[in-house]
Amino acid sequence: MAGAGAAVYSSTSSTVTVSSSAGISFFPFFPKQSKRPSNLTLIKRPSKSPNKILFFLNPKSNFKNKISKSVPLSSVIPQNLQKISGFPFSSPSFDSVAVFLASLAVSIFVAASDVGTPVAFAIANPTRKLQNDEMATVSLFKQNTPSIVYITNLAARQDAFTLDVLEVPQGSGSGFVWDSDGHIVTNYHVIRGASDLRVTLADQSTYAATVVGFDQDKDVAVLSIDIPKGKLRSIPIGVSADLLVGQKVYAIGNPFGLDHTLTTGVISGLRREISSAATGRPIQDVIQTDAAINPGNSGGPLLDSSGNLIGINTAIYSPSGASSGVGFSIPVDTVGGIVDQLVKYGKVTRPILGIKFAPDQSVEQIGLSGVLVLDAPASGPAGKAGLQSTKRDLYGRLILGDIITSVNDQKVVNGSDLYRILDQCKVGDTVTVEVLREDHKQKIKVVLEPKPDET
């Protein structure tokens, strides 16, 4: 680039050299009425060196000669100032700007005379003294950053004019390394609808990812990347069963595409319930935190103060879509079992009763408590066992179906209770379902079956 130069302070020659197009015999940084510092002398270069201005720092002054690095002058002068009125940077019309910036550079060197070690022109911060809690946070971030990834969701779109099929970024999110075999865990809603997925590691290397499996009901997905084992660092897995409200937590992710962002907070609540973004099925025992979680944080880890994974950051409560101090994470105890099944089988085998039931509000409106069966197909487990659906008689009057009041002697007040109980069961289990039919209760045994699309 024309006019490129360097600002150098040499501890041996005590000079600062700044490139320019001509010698200038004044130093505009100091007012005329002020006395020039005793350690600064400005000398115009001889004509044989018209492109140099030398500033001499008096070695007898108390200025400590401890800066010995050189940097391009272009790093000091913004690119949008390197041309003025069509003249290149080396033109005489720019001399006054160049000299002013050179003067500013010298003043920075003078002000930095107490720096203890050789540093670059952009002087690095001296070693900072941190409090114990700050040191712990910094250490936690450094140790876990290599385990955090940035996920880009690309979807195929056809150009309306050329009819070419293009890959368009559909969304992005976060994830983390589960094991050394290249398995990446994230939220299902981060990868939903993707035709191509890219995973970017902490060193900015990017890999194509394939979907190993996903659980829509719990909003969990597992990806796989082909990478040497030694390059991956799996995240430490913790326990969420013994968490306490008030303990510190840390969220690392890529909010708004800003990679590896750390936010801190506390556990604000436990055993919350949110709905799956894909199916609407409730997710129980969710962790509530006030650590800032924003779009792009989805799929990232929630860590305890030891740096162990305790949850996956999944959702926020916010009318604006940005963090409002109410974030939700799926607990690691829930995630662990799901990931194990996805890695081993590529799917989650979850038991069902095989019914469709009414919204909770409908049951409340008729003054009852439980789950009202709207439909129990004859081919499903509940239909085979004899549960009755809601229907209309010949006159169009509504005849309520069975109302489930308990399963295995555990009380069922609403749909969330039913899902919670079923999550504790396995495919093939026989459960005892107590129902209210007309004006009396009866117990029916049902053999649980897997969801049809997971068979």
Q: Known catalytic residues? A: 189, 219, 298
Q: Are 348 and 338 in contact (CB under 8 A)?
A: yes
Q: Are 90 and 73 in contact (CB under 8 A)?
A: no
Pairing of the two strands 183-186 and 351-352 = unpaired
CA–chain centroid gap for 290, Å, is 15
H helix and E strand count, the chain: 7, 27
Dist. CA 329–CA 283, nearest whole Å = 10
Dist. CA 245–CA 272, nearest whole Å = 12
5: exposed, middle or buried (Cβ count in 10 Å: 0-12, 13-18, 19+): buried
Q: Which residues contact 350 (CB under 8 A, 6 or more apart)?
A: 215, 217, 422, 423, 427, 450, 451, 454
Dist. CA 282–CA 218, nearest whole Å = 8
Strand (E) or helix (H) holding 166: strand 165-177
One-letter amino acid at 286 equals: V
DSSP 341-369: HHHHHSS---EE---EE--HHHHHHTT--
Look up tokens 């990812």; give the residue: 209
Six-digit token pair at 361? Answer: 């509000």
One-letter amino acid at 62 equals: N
Q: Are 28 and 103 in contact (CB under 8 A)?
A: yes
Six-digit token pair at 27? Answer: 């130093």
Closest CA to 149 of 84, 199, 222: 199
Dist. CA 105–CA 37, nearest whole Å = 15
CA–chain centroid gap for 41, Å, is 53
